[in-house]
């Protein structure tokens, strides 16, 4: 290969811009890979906890220790507080807009109350319509998965809780302190997703704590492709042969 016939014509400003963009694309690519790895580690930890036997919350003293219990299968005995139903609005499930039905559950023998996610329902035709939330009475033993509160949703001004009727309130996101004050209760800092569900009209929206690692790998490929394309364009414009002149 005769390198003498090639002429290198790289100017300072374009070269500096190229290096900034090129290195930026490469860094973004590796950042997406790191994000995907973190999600897989978290999901592996979830899978490991899911393989354990159900924990009976009625027999645990330190229920407020959410880091110990998150993503574990649990069972608990107590009563639903049917007069305190909560609609968690703006919840997307399988690409469809809807809401989650949440009913506080008083754990037998202790002062703690836990929010129980009874399932997801698609939006009704009109926002003014009130969903038919069937009460679950008497003492009952339920099973489910302990998860963090959903972070989706928005707070519209200072009005964080919308009273619909004497038994149903609607929120855009879970604010545990706000709920403690409103209901004069002592809620645990996590939620239980029922498994199995007790209501036929709802669907389970329980999912992995950090889904979507495949998307991160896809984004990483795109950033690396941008970097490669930029490199080809830079070399094509900056390197000329004597025959090009």
Looking at residue 139, its pLDDT comes to: 96
Q: What is the SS3 assignment for 113?
A: strand
Compute the CA torsion angle 147, 153, 157, 161 (nearest 10 deg). -50
Looking at residue 60, its pLDDT comes to: 87
CB hemisphere CA count around 84 (13 angstroms): 19
Looking at residue 238, its pLDDT comes to: 78
Cα Rg of the chain, angstroms: 27
Report the candidate in 100, 110, 14, 3 with the shortest Cα–Cα distance to residue 58: 110
| Largest separation between any pair of C-alpha atoms in the chain | 90
CB hemisphere CA count around 56 (13 angstroms): 7
By 3-state DSSP, what share of the chain in percent is helix, strand and coil, each rounded to 5? 35, 30, 35
Instruction: Provide the residue-wise pLDDT of the chain in tens; the chain has 245 residues.
Output: 555 666 777 788 888 999 999 999 999 999 999 988 888 887 787 777 777 889 999 998 889 887 788 888 999 999 999 999 999 999 999 999 999 999 999 999 999 999 999 999 999 999 889 999 999 999 999 999 999 887 655 555 545 789 999 999 999 999 999 999 999 999 999 999 999 999 999 999 988 776 667 888 999 999 999 999 999 988 888 777 655 44
Q: What is the DSSP letter of 76?
A: E
E-strand ranges in 81-138 read 85-93, 96-107, 113-122
Looking at residue 12, its pLDDT comes to: 86
What pTM was computed for the model?
Answer: 0.74
Looking at residue 70, its pLDDT comes to: 86
Looking at residue 11, its pLDDT comes to: 82
Looking at residue 41, its pLDDT comes to: 81
Looking at residue 210, its pLDDT comes to: 67
Any idea where the domains of the chain sit in the sequence? 3-44+212-244, 72-194
235 is written with which tokens? 């070399």
């Amino acid at each position: 290969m005769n390198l003498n016939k090639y002429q290198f014509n790289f100017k300072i400003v374009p070269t500096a811009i190229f290096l900034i963009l090129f290195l930026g694309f490469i860094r973004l690519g590796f950042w997406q890979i790191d994000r995907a790895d973190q999600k897989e580690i978290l999901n592996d930890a979830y899978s490991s906890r899911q393989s354990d036997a159900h924990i009976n919350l009625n027999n645990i003293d330190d229920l407020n220790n959410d880091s110990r219990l998150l993503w574990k299968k649990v069972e608990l005995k107590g009563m639903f507080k049917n007069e305190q139903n909560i609609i968690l609005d703006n919840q997307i499930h399988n690409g469809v807009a809807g809401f989650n039905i949440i009913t506080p559950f008083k754990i037998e023998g202790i002062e703690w109350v836990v929010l129980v996610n009874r399932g997801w329902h698609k939006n009704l035709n009109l926002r003014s319509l009130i969903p038919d939330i069937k009460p679950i009475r008497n003492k009952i033993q339920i099973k489910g998965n302990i998860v963090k509160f959903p972070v989706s949703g928005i707070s519209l001004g200072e009005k964080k809780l919308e009273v619909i009727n004497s038994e149903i309130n609607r929120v855009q996101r879970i604010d545990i302190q706000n709920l403690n004050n409103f209901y004069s209760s002592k809620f645990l800092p996590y939620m239980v997703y029922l498994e199995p569900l007790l209501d036929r009209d709802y669907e389970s929206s329980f999912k992995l704590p950090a889904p979507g690692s495949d998307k991160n790998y896809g984004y990483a490929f795109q950033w690396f492709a941008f970097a490669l394309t930029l490199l080809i364009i830079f070399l094509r414009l900056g390197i000329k042969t004597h025959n090009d002149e």
